[in-house]
Structure 1
Amino acid sequence: MSDNRAAATVVDVPRGLAGVVVTDTRIGDVRGLEGFYNYRQYSAVDLARTRGFEDVWHLLVHGELPDAGRGAAFAAETAVLRRLPDEVRTALPALAAASRASGPLAGVRTALSLLGAAKGFRPVYDIDADQRRADTVTACAAVPTLLTALHRLGRGLEPVDPREDLSYAANYLYMLTGSEPDPRRARAIEQYLISTIDHGFNASTFTARVIASTGADVAACLVGAVGALSGPLHGGAPSRALDALDAIGTPDRIDPWIRERVLAGDRVMGFGHAVYRTEDPRSRMLRDIALGFGGPRVDFAVEVERRVEAILAELKPGRELHTNVEFYAGVVMELCGLPREMFTPTFAAGRVVGWSANVLEQAADSKIIRPAARYVGPRAPVAVPTVA
């Protein structure tokens, strides 16, 4: 600590701000010791099992679950906003070409900036709560269109125009594949999207709130969140968990493959969570969805889960390490026909609603988020050397 700072103004906290409460929120909570999380006053898993995506979106943005009439009106309102402005649509081929190697998530950062400019988004500091909500709904409705168009263009395919008669999840699959999806698969993706809308102050959500605290526009907040999500330690695990299943290959290879990695200190993708000390409730729900589909892939995943948890309990006694959301998310998305490069973008298609709810909440507070850092470099001041 600097000698010139009053001790009362600086608080030491754990690395990564683990366990540090930085604000109050009415959006949701994660109770890691219980294996429970909620959106407002409702269990998030119960919402995923019983309601549609648009209803939960309404809950996050407007603070309440809609009745049938208001739910239909909100779904119709958001469906109209799926079409992109001409300025954005004409730029997508160039963005897809530039981001072909890195994927749609890279392209959508620029696309969101263009969308905000084309729609005239203004700093949240300068607009009222109603306009802020309108801007978030506009952005969220467009994200699936942007992601699927960038994906298809990157593969040499024409984008598929959105349909207003399909639900958020069904329309997403339709734009991705060009075919109207099987209702069962559309519902499975919808439940996945609902289950991942929000999950506490993770890296991307906190990033969105930091940007919102500066008063920046909604698009800027969401671009920052997407940037945080693109990191492999945050949003890249579903495809990596499937990669692990592929690497194991057969049941007889499970034990030696897992033991080798655990003993080497490597992370087993799809297991363990920064908050949960019991089973991830999202994983439990997605496992049930996968079991509903059935098949060799699901049976193998269940066996891998069983053996990994047993080996981790043996080699790391006292630690609670269970599957997290990414393990069965990858299995479910594969069963529904999504290519692996679209796993993290699909996560973003749901989480954008949670980011937006946090942006709205943060925008209501005029205090900028501005933490401190402890300087540990060479002692200052030192005379600046002259150039010989």
Structure 2
Amino acid sequence: MEVHKGLADVVVSETSLSAIVEGQLSFSGYNIDELVEKDASFEEIIFLLWNSRMPSREEFAQLQHDLHTHMALSESVIACLKIQCRQNLHPMSVLRTTVSLLGVFDPYAEEMDERSVYIQAISIQAKIPTIVAAFARLRKGLDPIAPREDLSFGANFLYMLTGEEANPDLVRAYNHCLVLHADHDLNASTFTARVAASTLTDVYSCITGAIGALKGPLHGGANERVFDMLSEIAESDTRDVAGYLKTKLDNKEKIMGFGHRVYKTEDPRKKHLKRMAKELTQEFGKEDLYDLSCEVEDYLLKEKGLIPNVDFYSATVYHCFGIEHDLFTLLFSMSRVSGWLGHVFEQKREATLIRPRSKYVGPVNLTYIPLSEKETIGGNAQ
């Protein structure tokens, strides 16, 4: 049996959602560069990933209506969020548990017909921004802010964080982030969602599992670790980028935000995030953070040939939104859930259980000795 560590280069499914071909990323045939440069809305991308086509005006309006209808949280969910506002509980654990609770409170969570599954998906997609914003406020002792029906998906989230409408440039930048992070081939969290969906379990279970996978520092959690690294360098007495990174590399420590299993020359999402990082740091007077990020990028490229992935500059961009760094991966989740749900739909239609094999490398031909026949020392079986 040939073993592919980490399933590297193993193709396990077909999809019409996203593709990485010759270093280019596309969603159902639309190049990611064009979607960002022409300001495609995140709501359009949700529809695209769920239907493999762009919406008509009527379909777009209906999707917006459905999202707004399901965005508010019940008092029961808010009460559960308050309970989770304690130290040493990672916000991704809060999101994971709260999404699971949505299924507990949904009387139709076990229904598998097409309409019920769609409503479950809409509910999850719509409520995650509200969950994140409510939690961000509750842990500061502030009351949650209800969503508004007249704001877009991204604008609503930024509004629910502060109670004030964000400026159009910030909304546009956040919409770009949502589009860029929406889907990405068969990454770890998406694969987790598809494995769960292949068992024909409910949608809430699929997404709860995907969130658990995204939490890991080798996946979505990397952007949080990137900001920790930048902060350590910036707050040091010497601000010695080369010395800091050399020590990390000499100690065989992984540099978060660099390297990619698929991309070898450039992550196509990076250039957009780097541009946004430059623009936003200039707007908010945080140019030093952008300059520091560029120094880190230049050093690692020169010394190790390492390239930034989507997580590296997204950390700087998210910081400019005024969001605490331990919430960065939750922002990733708000976007990526659209892709997860698209893959759940696709996998359920395929109706094939994902069940790989493993190669056994443990001991063989051992002889079992019953406990009653083993020698005892001091009355204890050995």
Q: TM-score, normalised on structure 2?
A: 0.89
Partner Cα separation in structure 2 for residue 294 and residue 371 of structure 1: 46
Q: In structure 2, what is the Cα distance between the partners aligned to 1:260 and 1:266?
A: 9
Aligned to 2:28: 40
Give aligned pairs, total.
368
Instruction: Provide closer, same or farther for how the CA distance between residues 121 and 310 of structure 1 changes in structure 2, counting only shifts above 3 A.
Output: same
1:53 to 2:42 alignment:
yes
Task: Quote the Cα distance in structure 2 between the aligned partners of 1:90 and 1:257.
Answer: 44
Residue 58 of structure 1 deviates from its aligned partner by: 0.9
The equivalences for 1:150-229 within 5 A come to 150-229=135-214
Runs of 4 or more, structure 1, over 6 Å off, are: none
CA offsets 1:275-310 (integer angstroms, 9 cap, x no match): 1111211110011112223436345534543x4454
Task: Report the CA distance between 1:22 and its aligned residue.
Answer: 0.5
Q: Name the counterpart of 1:133.
A: 118
Report the alpha carbon displacement of residue 313 of structure 1 after superposing the two structures with TM: 4.5
CA deviations over 1:16-64 (Å, ceiling 9, x no partner) = 1011100101110123xx3311111101232233211111111111222
**CA–CA distance in structure 2, aligned partners of residues 93 and 294 of structure 1:** 33
CA contact (8 A) 2:178 2:334 kept: yes
Assess if the C-alpha contact under 8 Å between 1:93 and 1:153 holds in 2: yes
Q: What residue identity is the alignment partner of 1:167?
A: S
Q: Please identify, of 168-177 and 266-275, the stretch whose mean Cα deviation from structure 2 is larger.
A: 266-275
Is the CA contact (8 Å cut-off) linking 1:298 and 1:331 kept in structure 2? Answer: no
The CA distance in 1 between the partners of 2:343 and 2:153, in whole Å, is 20
- Paired residue type of 1:254: V
The Cα shift of 1:156 comes to 2.0
Which sections of structure 2, spanning at least 5 residues, go unmatched?
373-380
The share of aligned pairs that are identical, in percent, is: 37
> What residue number does 2:70 align with?
81
Matching residue of 2:253? 266
Return closer, same or farther for 1:263/1:118 CA change in 2, 3 Å cut-off. same
Contact 2:207 2:337 in 1 (8 A): yes
Compared with structure 1, are the counterparts of its residues 298 and 384 closer, same or farther at alpha carbon in structure 2 (3 Å cutoff)?
farther
Deviation track 1:326-369 (CA, whole Å, cap 9, x = no partner) reads 11111111112111121111111111111111111111122211
Which residue in 1 is equivalent to 2:377?
none
Alignment of 1:357 with 2:342, yes or no, is yes
- Per-residue CA deviations over 1:118-148 (Å, capped at 9, x if unaligned) read 223445xx62334322321121111111122
SS in 1 for 2:354: coil
Give the Cα–Cα distance (whole angstroms) in 2 for the partners of residues 95 and 308 of structure 1. 36
TM-score, normalization by structure 1: 0.88
SS at match of 2:66: helix
One-letter amino acid of the structure 2 residue matched with residue 144 of structure 1: P
Mapped partners of 2:239, 2:106: distance in 1: 56
Cα separation, 1, equivalents of 2:4 and 2:121: 33
Q: Cα distance, 1:169 vs. partner?
A: 0.7
Query: In 2, distance between residues paired with 1:366 and 1:85?
Result: 34
Q: Indicate if the aligned counterparts of 1:254 and 1:304 stay in contact, CA closer than 8 A.
A: no
How large is the Cα RMSD of the aligned pairs?
A: 2.2
Which amino acid is 2:47 matched to?
Answer: H
SS in 1 for 2:319: helix
Q: Does 1:67 align with 2:52?
A: no
| Corresponding position of 2:300 | 312
In the alignment, the residues of structure 1 paired with residue 343 and residue 249 of structure 2 have an alpha-carbon distance, to the nearest angstrom, of 37
Task: Name the counterpart of 1:370.
Answer: 355
Seen in structure 2, the aligned counterparts of structure 1 residues 261 and 386 have a Cα distance that, compared at 3 Å, is: closer
Distance 2:227 2:18 in 1: 29
Higher alpha-carbon deviation: 345-354 or 180-189 = 180-189
Which of 12, 17, 22 is residue 12 of structure 2 equivalent to? 22
